[in-house]
Amino acid sequence: MNKDTLEGQWKQLTGKAKAAWGDLTDDDLAKVNGNAERLAGLIQERYGRTREQAELEVKDFFDRNR
């Protein structure tokens, strides 16, 4: 899935993202706007994950929700 597709479908995926990462607020998810790097950064910050763990979680999330 390319960057444009992710950003275009992000509004549809925010509910699933909120279910996956409940500590992220609606404002957080709005700021992410489908950007995988920003989402990984927020997950890293909120959940204390390493960058690699956060990136893997985001990749898995987007792969499952194509």
Contact 39, 17 (CB under 8 A): yes
Residues 6+ apart with CB under 8 A from 42: 21, 24, 28, 32
At 49, phi and psi to the nearest 5? -80, 160
Domain coverage including residue 59: 3-64
Q: How many domains does the chain have?
A: 1
Residue 65 confidence (pLDDT) = 87
Q: Number of helices and strands (H, E) in the chain?
A: 4, 0
Q: What is the CATH number of the domain that holds 17?
A: 1.10.1470.10
pTM summary value: 0.84
The 10s digit of each residue's pLDDT in 11-60 is: 889 999 999 999 999 999 999 988 989 999 999 999 999 999 999 999 99
Terminal C-alpha separation, the chain: 7
